[in-house]
Amino acid sequence: MAIAIVLVLLVIGSIWFHFWSPWWITPLASNWGDMDDTLMITFWVTGAVFVAVNLFIAVAVIRFRHKPGRKAAYEPENKKLEWWLTILTTIGVVIMLAPGLIVYEDFIHAPEDASVVEILGKQWQWAYRFPGNDGVLGNSEIRFVSFANSFGLDPDDPNARDDVVVASGELHLPLNKPVQMLLRSKDVLHDFYVPHFRAKMDIVPGVITSFWFTPTRVGKFDSACAEYCGVGHHTMRSFVFVDMPDDFQEWLDAQPTFAEILAKGEPGGGSKSAARGLEVAQEQGCLGCHSVDGTASAGPTWRGLYGKTENLSDGNTVEVDDAYLKEAIVNPNASIVKGFAAIMPAYQLSEEDLKALVDFTRSLSEGDDQSSAGGGPIEAGRQIAEEQGCLGCHTTDGSPSAGPTWKNLFGKNEKLADGSSIVVDEAFLQESIRDPNATIINGFSPIMPPYDLTNEQLDALVAYTKSLGSGAE
């Protein structure tokens, strides 16, 4: 009897929870209401089966409970029951599958007037390409793929030269315009997924997959890689912004064309050894874990690394010079930079290749004055927050994330995990960046790695945080 009651409560509780909590679908921001309908159909079919099976067990438990002298009847075959089960199961499966086939057919056939955007998945970043003013995506071939030309665009194809290439980061799209996404991979399986758009598609090496949708709401939407693609899989998280057409055009105009990227040349400048270093870095897969543009990854970025003073996990500091870099390649776990895991394998390279790698790394620090370029400390702070990946865990619009939002954070009275409280001031912010686990705000986990920034960078980050409003009462 107790079991029967538990089963009935389970059914009632599940239904109640479903209506009480919108737990499984983000608000819709595209034309794909059909996706939700399909999902709902599946949900109701499986939900009905769930209810029926549980109630059936509850009834059976009561009706056939143990009584002295009662014997179970053995009935191995029941034609009538089997027919019913077969027919009902078939109907249920057809109801679940058929709508999906219809919607999928629509999902992969873009309307004539759809614009085109190409997405390139690579370990572990997204890149985007828009056709230029001619409206045509230029030719690409594998043999043209290089560090600066990750799409492998043909430098001699005029259709390619005006293509707009967004090498990393975030995608913007105009409101209410149908757009066809073409998806390519440079290495392994990835999957481009934007839950709000109900849009998701595997990216398969050697194949171009596609889908289309029309964004129907202005806003910032999470995008993620939904196919495990290696240790950096989690860093393939980004955002799609849906803008008013004018804002979108303004953003697009600010992005470089392929011709402009070509003119800039490959990183490493003119040095032969540095150019060889880039080759070595690509051959050995270094760039899977070390970015060259300052973005956060599994290992320290190489941008601005040379000459920097790094804090090590054993409490010592070290200046990054030729000798340190060579050791860090040959025997990476001898000294680990604070905030990183000891996951790098040792590399055995020729003395020449080692020197080339070091030269390439050094070339990424020369004449580099990015963080203070124009815009004052607030803008510099915003750039640092982007480069260091802070915004992966801290929002600036008040929405919740893995870490506290920066909106109205400054001046706020925060409760700490140890029960005490603290006013967020400059000193607290600086400490939280350098040594985040010294004081943990109540309700958050101590998962933030320490960041080794210069005083100037810290001041800029604090200035940026302050610019996002005050939480003082």
Q: Which residues bind ligand CUA (CB under 6 A)?
A: 121, 124, 190, 225, 227-229, 233, 236
- Residue 331 Cα to chain centre, angstroms: 31
CB of 229 to ligand CUA, least distance (A): 3
- Distance (Å) of CA 173 to CA 71, 179, 463: 69, 8, 30
* Residue among 225 and 274 whose Cβ is closer to ligand CUA: 225
CB of 167 to ligand CUA, least distance (A): 16
CB of 197 to ligand CUA, least distance (A): 18
* Residue among 141 and 222 whose Cβ is closer to ligand CUA: 222
* Residue among 149 and 235 whose Cβ is closer to ligand CUA: 235
* Residue among 124 and 306 whose Cβ is closer to ligand CUA: 124
CB of 290 to ligand CUA, least distance (A): 17
Contact predicate 125/151, CB 8 Å: no
Angle between helices 351-363 and 272-284 (to 10 degrees): 100
* Residue among 163 and 191 whose Cβ is closer to ligand CUA: 191
Tokens of 370: 């990015």
Contact predicate 146/186, CB 8 Å: no
Contact predicate 347/331, CB 8 Å: no
Q: Is 37 helix (H, G, I), strand (E, B) or coil?
A: helix
Query: Looking up tokens 């481009």, which residue turns up?
Result: 192
CB of 159 to ligand CUA, least distance (A): 28
Category of 69 on φ-ψ map: left (φ > 0), alpha (ψ -120 to 50) or beta: left
CB of 237 to ligand CUA, least distance (A): 9
CB of 226 to ligand CUA, least distance (A): 7
* Residue among 237 and 326 whose Cβ is closer to ligand CUA: 237
User: DSSP letters along 132-153, please?
Assistant: -TT--PPPB-GGG--SS-TT-B
* Residue among 204 and 422 whose Cβ is closer to ligand CUA: 204
- Give the contacts of 355 (CB within 8 A, at least 6 positions apart): 273
CA distance 270 to 110: 45
CB of 150 to ligand CUA, least distance (A): 14
* Residue among 235 and 395 whose Cβ is closer to ligand CUA: 235
CA distance 193 to 35: 14
Shortest CA distance to 149 belongs to which of 295, 268, 260, 283?
Answer: 260
CB of 170 to ligand CUA, least distance (A): 16
Shortest CA distance to 325 belongs to which of 344, 95, 256?
Answer: 344
* Residue among 145 and 188 whose Cβ is closer to ligand CUA: 188
